[in-house]
Amino acid sequence: MASLLQSLNAELAGAIANVRNSVVQVRDRWSGAGAGTIWHPDGLIVTNAHVARRGPFEVALSDGRVFSAHLIARDERRDLAALAVQAHDLPTIQPGNVRALQPGQWVFAIGHPWGIANAATGGIIIGFGSHLPEHPAGRHDWIVVDLHLRPGNSGGPLVDTAGQLVGVNTMISGPNVGIAVSVEAVKLFLRQSLSAAPAADSATAV
């Protein structure tokens, strides 16, 4: 039994370690810092709308580089935002399949709670938010999880045990109830907003 647990712990720790490379810190001048997830290797980053509220923005990568960032799109209803930085060959997280998830499955939130960089917290899926009063949306737009999100987790990834992205952490709804925007909602947001967005301004390292 001990060897099985050790093997499981090592596997989960390895998956989380890979995810950390794709987690960034998003900073603005007005509301402090949150987290973000690298969606595309050429500098496309997804975070929460309430994290990317007012610019100018900076994005700090896991390797220590810091870039100024251009806001491409915001969606207050889904609490999502897309940023662009002038960088290439960045590490990304593979999107997971939300529709394959079930209540009781383990998931992990990665972010920067209270300034602790790339911290991880784990819990289980409670269900899917089809009737969140403040955020009317479809069944798979919200994932409700039994884990403790803290300031600095917002905008960071929610991943499954394989390290695949299943959501973007966005809010708490109780002492140990967290809510994430599902990766399916993220895909839809990006399809809709990027097709209508003008070309991003240049963003350079600072």
Does 145 fall in a domain?
A: yes
- 9 in the same domain as 88: yes
Q: Residue 83: give the domain boundaries.
A: 2-92+188-196
Model confidence band, residue 4 (pLDDT cutoffs 50, 70, 90): confident
Q: Active site residue: 75, 79, 141, 160, which one?
A: 79
Same domain, 113 and 180: yes
Q: Are residues 87 and 106 in the same domain?
A: no
Question: Looking at the structure, do residues 119 and 132 belong to the same domain, yes or no?
Answer: yes
d(CA 62, CA 11): 21
Statement to judge: residues 71 and 108 lie in one domain: no
Which tokens in the block code for residue 130? 């089809």
204 lies in some domain? no
Confidence band of 6 (pLDDT split at 50, 70, 90): confident
Q: With beta carbons less than 8 A apart as the criterion, state whether 186 and 168 touch.
A: yes
Q: Which residues contact 168 (CB under 8 A, 6 or more apart)?
A: 37, 46, 47, 48, 80, 155, 156, 157, 158, 180, 181, 183, 186
pLDDT band for position 202 (cuts 50, 70, 90) = very low
Same-domain check for residues 75 and 109: no
79 noted as active-site residue: yes
The two three-digit tokens of residue 13, written as one number? 């720790």
Better-scored residue on pLDDT, 140 or 35:
35
**What is the CATH number for 37?**
2.40.10.10
* pTM as predicted: 0.86
Q: What's residue 197's pLDDT?
A: 60
Burial of 19 (C-beta count, 10 Å sphere; 0-12/13-18/19+) = buried
pLDDT at 123 over 60: yes
What pLDDT band is residue 205 in, cutting at 50, 70 and 90?
very low
The number of folded domains in the chain is 2
Is residue 172 within 8 A of residue 149, CB to CB? The reply is: yes
| Choice among 22, 68, 154, 182 that is catalytic | 154
Active site residue 173: no
Among this protein's residues, is 154 annotated catalytic?
yes
Given a contact cutoff of 8 angstroms between Cβ atoms, the answer to whether 189 and 75 are in contact is yes
